[in-house]
Structures are given as structure tokens and as C-alpha cells.
Structure 1
Amino acid sequence: MNRTAPRPSSLACDECRKKHLKCDSTTPPCTRCTNESLLCSYTPSRRGYRRRKTPWDSAKTAAAQKTPQHGGTSTSSFVLGDMDLNQSLPLKPGDTTPPAPSGSGIVPSDAAVFSAEAPTDTPQTIATNRSVELTRQEEERLVHLYYTHFHATAPILVPRKRYATQAYPAHLKAVVHFIGSHYTPAFDSNLLHDAVEVLLSPPQESTLHTTQALLLLSIAQHARAYHVNALATLSRATEMAIELQLHSRDAPVRYGGLDPLLQESVKRTWWEVYCIEGYLAAVHRQPSFRCNSVSLEALLPCEENAYRDGLEEPQSITLDQYDARFFADHSVAFSSACYRIEAIRILARVLALTAATVDGPDDIQSVDNAIVAWKLHLPDDKATAIDRCGDVDQMMLQAFAFMHTATVFLHFPRSELLLRVPTATDIECASAMVPASPTSAQHATKAIVASKELSDLAALPVNKYSPVFTCALVFGCIVQLSACSAHAHSCIVQHRDRVALMTGALKSLRRHWPVAGQALRKLNTIASGIFNPAQSKQSGTSSPTTHDSGIGMDATMGDLCWFDLFPPRNGTEDFTMFGTAHDIWPS
């Protein structure tokens, strides 16, 4: 006799949810809690990411139940209408932040952190009753926008032609949709962000796909100027990647099986976590970052066109092979991603040098030599951010941006430009940063050259820039604006044109990412006071000119904590009184 299987319950107790076990939902206690003498309680459902259920969904659900996912996790349907979401949603991004795991490299210093285990009726949290309904056509459109505008800047997911058959879990797809929504006004990005945060609320099982979802979400949160949230999300992604040992050499086979494309996706995921965490550590003035504290055994990524076209054989290039290129008898071709990774490794050396209690001239020169050697050893096809087809090489563009940023961080704090920073003479301990070295002029020259090269990158098409490029543009503008105070009037036009170029790039980026608009407003106010002092006086926002150059300076310079954009000159000085990077990009 055929019997109809009981329909799975849409309700589960808290204990069963924590261990991802089925619950028979008897009101309390359930059978499992009774047998194990556990405290059985239920939390009201917080439904989040919902879309219309179609016959296609039912078929997909059935297929997913039979097909295991690489990495030991099972796939699930994208239909979440019957899914209970146990965690509460913050009132708005930035109100609450899940705690950063212990040992994390980047920790928000001024955020009020609330435990993920806090009662759901605390005043800091609230359940969301809003839902997101997407048709299949809308999903396809958002995926298309993601791959068209964003994927090349962080290419960790499979290429576009493999996406539909990859059976990614719901929370990763939701992040893809959320990011894609920034490139069209047809969708509410805020609503999609809220739904994603519910789907990714801790606790989450540690999987490759969850790591990818958290990493991509952290980039988007940073680009939306949710900096506290971004750091917390990135911290979760970092700890999960290390827990999964994605930095080990055998990780591609362990999580990608025998599929070369999936193996490559695993490698790219680790190195993307490494690069993003390292760069944001610099932005937030951290002396180190978590990924740089583990052994870097992961294999290096391949070229973008090879990945996009589909790999037939896995590639096994190691970091040792890359490091040996300087003294090799024959040249070996390395991907653009390899040079990007090296740029972050050098940036990590700059951060460590800044944190040292004593700045030895040999140590500074050693890092500077590494920066110059990186540039001199670039092959002809990597010497610029434009590839042989005339397109922008996204990985090389970021590599150059990271390296120029490292140069600015190394030289600007040790240069005479700090003397020219408006309002610097009014800061009590600014004298502690006055360079006494006779090489300060050389440091200034190198910082200015790096800012010029950043402005040259801004001249390239910006419609597909990574949102993290915003920070590099801000650093370039700051150096150029500082140089205006030190140089004669004959150089003003050159500095103004470069600042105008970089602020123009920020203006283009702000169409999609709020962080660019936030930085642009600050920089425009400052630049107006420098280049248009008469107009600033008429508006009542000007301040006395500096005695060095006679260029008018805006009184709002004090709103921008210049010294906090760069590491302090040595580790003995405490500049926390000037705030943090949130003064430019508040949460």
C-alpha cells in the first residue's frame, strides 16, 4: 500500500536549528529535545528572501536533493518561502554588528558590538516582515548585471556560462542579486541587503559557498559605506576560509573535486579574501591582517581569459615559483592575479614597517626597493593596465592601484608634505610628525609620483572599476592637495587637473556605490577652498591662507583627519585622538 510521506514541517525549535537537524515540531518539547533532555523553545519565523514558486523550482528542489555539492555540503532550492530564519535583523546597517571572531586581523574599533546570541527582543534588533519577490526573469537580469559590471573585479565565482548549472545555494545567489541591483534603478538594493543579512545571519555552516557569499557581501557593504558591517562580514569570511584551510595546497581538489574550473574557483576565493582583507587593513590603519599570519601554500590563479573560456587542465603554479622569477634563466608567464597578490604582500610589509617602534632607514629602503623591483620586472604585456586587445585588465589595474597605495603609505608620512597639510600647525602633536630627515624631500617626490600614477589609472574607463578603487583615488587626491600647499603657483594647474580627474572618477563610481559619493563631497569641499579661495570666502567657509604658499584653505579641512588616512610615522605616537578612517567614510 502506498503511503504519502508526511510533509516536512516549516517550524523547527531552536536546538534543532542550531545543529541543522529535522524537527518534528511538536509544541514543546519536540521528540529530539525530549530524548536528549534539551530545553525546547521556538522563535517566531522571520521570513526574508522570497520569490514566486514555479514548477521549475519544484524540479530544481528534487534534483538538488539528489546531487551533493563539492565540499561536503548539499545544495538546496532557491525557494525560501517555507524557510524559518532564526536571527533578528538590525534596524539598519551599522546599528548592530555580529562580533568579529577571535584572532581576526581587522576589527572595527568604535562599533557597539552585540552578541549574536542575544535575546531577539532586545531594543537593538527587530524582525523583518519585508520580503523580496523575484521572478525568474528578474533573477536572470540581476545575474547578468553582476557578471557584466562586477564579476571581473572579484572573479571568484564560476564563469557566466557555468553559473546556471552550478547549483549555488540560496544565500550566495542572493548576494549576487544584491550586488547586481546596484547597476539598475529597477530594484531596491536596501531591501535586498536586508534579506541577504537575514540569510547569512550566524550561525552558518562553514562551506566554500558561504565563504564566497560573505566575501562578496563585505565588498558590497564597504562600497555602500557600511564600514563596520563590512569589517565584521569580512572577518567572518576570513575565519571561515582559514577554518576550511583554503590556503592549503590541496584545497582546490578537496573542494573542487576533479573539475579544473571549480578548483580554480577555490584558489581564487582564498586569494580574494587575502587581497581584500589586506587592502582594507591599510584603509583602516591596521598593522597586520589575519590572512597574512598563515602559511601561504595556496596555488596561484590562472589568467582571466583561460578561466573565462573554461579550463581543460588544472594549473599548479606556486608562490615559490613566482618569487623565483627575479633570478630565473628563462622568463615564465604569470597571470595578472599573481602581480595583484604580490602588491598586497608588499603593502603588508609597509603596514608592518609602520607598526614598528623604530623606522630603520635600511628597512624603509628595502620595502621601497621591493616596490621598484616589482615594476621593473613586469613583462611587456603587464607593463600597463591595458591588455593586448585594448581592454582594461582588471587584475593589473588593481595591482597598480594597490602598489601605488603602498608607495603613498610608505613615503607620505615621512615627507615634508605633512608640513603643508592645512591646519597641521594647529594640531598639538603635529610636531611629532615633522620629518627631520634630510630625505624628507625624496619621500615627498615619491609620494607625489605615486599619486600622479593613481590619477593616470583614473583616466581609464571607470564603469567596471572595483569599488575598493575608491580608497586609492582618495589617497591620490590627498597627496595632490597637500602638494598644492608646498608648490609654487606655477604648478597649481597641474595639481588641479589631476584632482579634477580623480574626483571625476569618484563621481562616476558614485552612480553605483555610495562610498564614492561620500568621499567626493569631502574632497570637493577641500578642493574648492584650495583652488577657489575667493568663492569660498563669499560662502563664508574660508580660513586664513597658509604662510607657505598663499593658497586659500578651507576651514572644513579640520573635518578631514588627514593623519588618520595614513599610518603614523612610528609606533610610539598615538593618533587615536584624531579619530579613524570613519571620519571620511563613516558607517
Structure 2
Amino acid sequence: MSNGSPTELFNGLGSDIPNQPPHSTPVSSGSGAVDSRTPPNTVQAACLACRAKHLKCDGKNPCGRCQTSDSGECVYVASRRGYKGPRRNAAPNPNKRHASDSESPPSAGGDSCPMLLGATVSSAAPPSLPTFNPGLVLPESPATPYTPSGINSLQLYRTPYLNGTNGALVEANSRPQTVPERCIDAFYYYFYPGHPAVLPKEQLLKTAKDGKIDHLLAAMRWVGSLYIDAGPARATFFEEAMRLSYSRDVPKDGYLVQAMVIILIGLDGSCQQEKAREILSDVERIAIEIGLYTRAFATNHGGAIPRLEESWRRTWWDLFVVDGMVAGVHRQTNFLLFDIVADVGLPCEEHEYTSGMIPRPMFLEDFDDQLFSGIDREFSSFAYRIASIRNLGRMMRLPNSGFPNEENVNRIESLLSNWRMHLPPSKRDCLNKDCQLDEMMFQAHMINHACSIILHQPLSQLDSSPAREVTACAPHRAVQSGDRFNLHTKHIITAACEISKMVTYNVPITSHTHFFTCVLTLSSIVHLSKWALEYFIHDEDDLRQQIRLNIGALNKLSGVWKAANNASGQVKGVAQEIYRAKRAQQSNPSFWVGFTQEEIISSMAADEGIMSEIDTMLTSSAP
């Protein structure tokens, strides 16, 4: 067996990878089932139908029992004790026809939009499958599996991404769903709104019939499994996604870029950050090699299908934003794609993409010239998200290793302020015209606030040492305390408060990108540093509420993402330390000189209240 890395597999090495056996079953466009990958002439596992009934299976495809019973589905996966396969006679009609792109009806108005993640360049060798590298650590399952309601026989879709129902409650099928199907649905329900590059579900499954995008479906199944209780199938899905994506036979195309971006996002959220960066390095190389950053790519590879052309444009820009997010929150990479001169068209609005009514794309030069051209244009939320991450790239190109002088800081602050001031009325908050959350604008605002903290924190006068243990996303940055709050300190406090307000939108926290975890952590560091001040804070009760919001949001995200679990534990731990230090200070009568008895009682009671909540959170999350 080869020990070659995935990069070697891309280059045609690692020839010991087993080829697909004659009886392998391609992923069904209706079921999203996993391919079996056992060597020919060997029976290493029973099919799911036989295994569910504890019957002997002959390993053929279909096997003898399924053929005798006229079962419509005979699927093999790696042997996992306790796994229950799909019921017999559960196959959908493989000849079911889907509406073509041109026949798709217009969507009923706006719908929620996506939000991006992190990626960047690394010089290290890419990760390998456990089969080829036993040292690879598989992402762990959450301590408590996050099991969303409504992802089984009934589907409550937030958006028309899945089947054009515009949020209606729909009976998915008369039969129970298989685990792979549930994972695909979870992908579209939770993950896709934040990363809307792949084709909408109906068209994607239609494309999947020829078996050429098995690697993409495998990546989608694995990430979808992180949101539900998928059991031992989760590890199988990950192995399948890695093996297919790094197969020597996989075409280097837009679908491969989509699959690898999905995998690296899942790995990053599962605390496999180094491996995620290595995959990012590979996918950036592939995207540049195939010319994904050029205007012509969408036309040349879109088959005159407007929605597919739009998908390729979104694939480039999604990768671009992911690269910037990884660089910004982890501060371990340098946002390589920022320096690529790309002329890809800007993505359209989400409801236009979903409906298939794709307008003629606009470009970055149109966006940059909008104030001076005299032409009134309406740009998409996705475009404002791109503009926001470009400001992060400009900030990262400042000299002095991230500790810029006042002149450079003022220059970048002008970009951040201009981005906010020149937003059209429909983009000034995170709600669309139907008062639903606009995920693209959510992320755009989130990036803007995070940039403000990263830019101003080095020159602020808010001592960061109390939060030095909060390192889940990035290393601690020492900031010395000053005699008074300067302008930079006010900037980071304002941005931290705005980030906390973003928690209050009435949508599942887990539907946001997992990089919201790191932005919440940035906000929490500012809040905790301010709370640790020795003197009385006039807005201390508001500050406590913001700390509560951040910890509660991190707690929710912990159900899916291990990175959020780490950040949550660190923030709670620091909050406890600050509380104990404040209690020690308060035991000195001189601390309360100048305060009324009412202020003293109120402050102590509020501190007791937040610590009681934090203690409860720590107890409930303990293994």
C-alpha cells in the first residue's frame, strides 16, 4: 500500500489505490448513497439490505437476495457494527425527470444567503488518508451529536435551495430516508446557505446521474453528517470524500475545487486546521492551474447553462473568501488569492441563482467605479461580501507585521468606513426585503467588524492580558493598557458589541459559517478585557449581557464544531478567572470608595448572576 500524500496521488503516483470494482454502485441521484469500494472477486462486506436483516450476502451487485426480492437498492459500505441500512424497496425512480435550468420557475422573492469560510496557502505537504498515512487524525464527532429536528420524513426548508418550496413543510418521501440522504439534506439546510457555490440540489442530483461528481457528493455527505447523528457512517463518508477527491483519476475541474473547499472547511471547524490549510494550498493551485479566476472559464465550461456558469463564478469567489477568512481569523497564512488578478463576474442574488433566472453578471470594475460612473447599479449581497473580504486583504498587506502605524491604520479605516457608509438601504442590515436573514450580508458585516478589531487592537489601550488564554482561533496578541481609552480602543469595543448583536438574529446559530466561532472569540476577548478593568464600568450590565450572548452562541456551535467547543471552554475559563479576581478586589473596602450602596449591591449581584450561568454551562457541557 502506498504511503503517498494526496499531492502525489494528484500527480499520478500512489498507483496502489484500488480501482472501483465491477460491482460498484454509482451514487444515485435520488438517494445520495455511498459507493461500495471492495476489490473484485472478494466479499468483504454485506450489502446494507442483507446486513439489516443479518443475512448472508454473496457480494454481487445486485446481490442474489436483493435480485430475488426485486429490491430497487443494493448498496455496500465499509463494515461498521451497529449501522442500519436503508429499508428494502426504498429506491426512488431512477428515471424521474427534473426540470431543466431554463424551465425553472422564478423564485418568490429573496431568500437567505450564504456565508464563507477559511482557506489559504501552506508550504507543507497535503494530508493523506488513514489508509496511506496512519497518522492522520480523523475529525472527532461532537461529544453530544447535534440532531436537528425536521431532517427526517418531513423537511422544513428555510430556503428554496432544496426543492423550490420557499419554506413550506414538505413530505420528502413515503419511505424513510437513508443516512446518506439525510446527510445531503443537512448539507443543504445548514451548510449550503453559508457556502452557496455548488448547484442547487435538484440540478446537482440530475448532474450526478453520470457518476462524474461522486467526489463532490461524498464531500457534501461528510459535512452534512456533522450536523446530524450519522453514527459510524461519518468516518466512512470522510474516508470516501478524501479518497475520491485525491484519486489519480479525478478530473481537475470546478467540481473538484468545490469538493476540496467543502472538505477543508469541515476540517478547519473540526480543529484539523493544519490539514485544512494543506488542502487549501492544493485547491488554490488547482484553481489557478485550470483558470478558474478568468472571465472565460464560466463560459467555456458552463455548457451554455446559465446556472452552471453562475456556479463556476461562485466557486472562485467562495474560495477567495475562504482564503481570506482562514488568513484573517487564524493569522497563520497570507491570503494568497488576494494577489491574483481575477476578472471573474460577480455572483448574482441568491433568489436569482435558486430560480435559474440569472442576470448578466457585473464585474469588480463596475463595483469599484459605481460612485463615479453615474450609473445606478444594484449589486448582490455576495458582491458586498467580496468587497468586505478585499478590505481584509488590503489590511493584511500593511507593513510592520500587523502592527501598522497611525497613517496606515487611518487608511484602512477609511476603507472600512466607506464600505459601511455606501451600502444601499437594502444592505445596511442583515435582513432582506422579506425580513429573512440575508446570510451573505451577515457575513459581509461580520468580516467588517472583525477587520476593525484586528486593525485597531494593536494600537488600543485595552489590556488584553486577562484574555491571554483564549487562543482557540489565533495566538494571543499582547496589548498594553493605557491611562485612558483612545480612539482605537473605542473602535474595537464598538465592533465587539456589534458582533454580539449578530447573535440575536432569529435563525439557528449553526446555520452560519463555523468561522463565526472565531469572530465571536475576537469579540469575547474585547469584552473580557474590558470586564477585567479594576475600576467601575458604567455599562457593566450591558457588558455582562454581551458576554452571555457570546458564550451562549459558542455553546450552540459546540454541538457541531469542535473548534467552537474549544473556544467556548477557554472563554468560560477566562470569565471565571476574571470573576474571582474581581471578588478579591471587592473584598477590599477601598475598592468601593465613591459608590453608593445600591451600586455596590447591583454590581455584586450581577457578577454572581453571570457566574452562576457560566458554571451551569460548564457543568452541562462536561463529559
Normalising by structure 2, we get a TM-score of: 0.65
Quote the sequence identity (%): 24
**Residue number in structure 1 paired with 2:222:** 178
SS in 2 for 1:381: helix
Report the alpha carbon displacement of residue 448 of structure 1 after superposing the two structures with TM: 0.4
**Residue number in structure 1 paired with 2:577:** 529
CA contact (8 A) 1:145 1:180 kept: yes
- Which residue of the other structure, out of 532, 536, 544, is the alignment partner of 1:488? 536
Report the alpha carbon displacement of residue 495 of structure 1 after superposing the two structures with TM: 1.4
CA contact (8 A) 2:197 2:315 kept: yes
Relative to 1, partners in 2 of residues 1:435 and 1:202: Cα closer, same or farther, differing over 3 Å? farther
**Residue number in structure 2 paired with 1:560:** none
In structure 2, the gaps of 5 or more residues are: 1-7, 41-118, 139-175, 470-475, 586-590, 592-599, 605-623
Q: Structure 1: which amino acid aligns with 2:463?
A: L
CA contact (8 A) 1:451 1:475 kept: yes
Q: Structure 2: which amino acid aligns with 1:455?
A: S
CA contact (8 A) 1:414 1:435 kept: no
Residue 356 of structure 2 corresponds to residue 307 of structure 1: no
Q: C-alpha distance in 2, partners of 1:293/1:210?
A: 22
**Residue number in structure 2 paired with 1:95:** none
Deviation string 1:26-56 (CA, Å, 9 cap, x unpaired) is xxxxxxxxxxxxx9x97374989x99849x9
SS in 2 for 1:183: coil
CA contact (8 A) 1:412 1:418 kept: no
Residue 534 of structure 2 corresponds to residue 499 of structure 1: no
Within 5 A, what are the aligned runs for 1:436-585? Answer: 441-460=486-505, 461=507, 462-486=509-533, 488-531=536-579, 533=581
CA contact (8 A) 1:302 1:335 kept: yes
CA contact (8 A) 2:460 2:479 kept: no
Q: C-alpha distance in 2, partners of 1:523/1:180?
A: 27
Report the alpha carbon displacement of residue 144 of structure 1 after superposing the two structures with TM: 1.5
Relative to 1, partners in 2 of residues 1:392 and 1:355: Cα closer, same or farther, differing over 3 Å? farther
CA contact (8 A) 1:420 1:485 kept: no
Q: C-alpha distance in 1, partners of 2:563/2:503?
A: 16
**Superposition CA RMSD, Å:** 4.0
Q: Structure 2: which amino acid aligns with 1:144?
A: D
Residue 461 of structure 2 corresponds to residue 416 of structure 1: yes
Report the alpha carbon displacement of residue 420 of structure 1 after superposing the two structures with TM: 6.0
Q: C-alpha distance in 2, partners of 1:507/1:431?
A: 24
- Which residue of the other structure, out of 151, 157, 175, is the alignment partner of 2:198? 157
Q: C-alpha distance in 2, partners of 1:468/1:449?
A: 20
Relative to 1, partners in 2 of residues 1:215 and 1:19: Cα closer, same or farther, differing over 3 Å? closer
Q: Structure 2: which amino acid aligns with 1:233?
A: I
- Which residue of the other structure, out of 267, 278, 281, is the alignment partner of 2:327? 281
Relative to 1, partners in 2 of residues 1:19 and 1:153: Cα closer, same or farther, differing over 3 Å? closer
Report the alpha carbon displacement of residue 82 of structure 1 after superposing the two structures with TM: 5.4
Within 5 A, what are the aligned runs for 1:250-399? Answer: 250-286=296-332, 288-311=334-357, 313-353=358-398, 355=400, 359-399=404-444
Q: C-alpha distance in 2, partners of 1:270/1:332?
A: 23
SS in 2 for 1:398: helix
SS in 2 for 1:322: helix
Deviation string 1:472-531 (CA, Å, 9 cap, x unpaired) is 111011111111234624332221110110111111111222211111011111112223
Report the alpha carbon displacement of residue 201 of structure 1 after superposing the two structures with TM: 3.0
CA contact (8 A) 1:287 1:354 kept: no
- Which residue of the other structure, out of 240, 249, 253, is the alignment partner of 1:207? 253
Normalising by structure 1, we get a TM-score of: 0.68
SS in 1 for 2:429: coil
- Which residue of the other structure, out of 104, 107, 110, is the alignment partner of 2:122? 107
Report the alpha carbon displacement of residue 308 of structure 1 after superposing the two structures with TM: 0.8
Q: Structure 2: which amino acid aligns with 1:256?
A: G
- The aligned length equals 452
Report the alpha carbon displacement of residue 296 of structure 1 after superposing the two structures with TM: 2.1
CA contact (8 A) 1:414 1:440 kept: no
**Residue number in structure 2 paired with 1:31:** none
Q: Structure 2: which amino acid aligns with 1:156?
A: A
Report the alpha carbon displacement of residue 207 of structure 1 after superposing the two structures with TM: 1.3
Report the alpha carbon displacement of residue 344 of structure 1 after superposing the two structures with TM: 0.6
Q: Structure 2: which amino acid aligns with 1:208?
A: G
SS in 2 for 1:250: helix
SS in 2 for 1:299: coil
Higher RCO (Cα < 8 Å, 6 or more apart): 2
Q: C-alpha distance in 1, partners of 2:557/2:259?
A: 23
Q: C-alpha distance in 1, partners of 2:207/2:571?
A: 43
- Which residue of the other structure, out of 135, 139, 144, is the alignment partner of 2:185? 144
Q: C-alpha distance in 1, partners of 2:371/2:216?
A: 40
Deviation string 1:441-497 (CA, Å, 9 cap, x unpaired) is 100000000000000111112241111111111101111111123462433222111
Q: Structure 1: which amino acid aligns with 2:213?
A: P
Q: Structure 2: which amino acid aligns with 1:387?
A: N
CA contact (8 A) 1:106 1:235 kept: yes
CA contact (8 A) 2:313 2:346 kept: yes
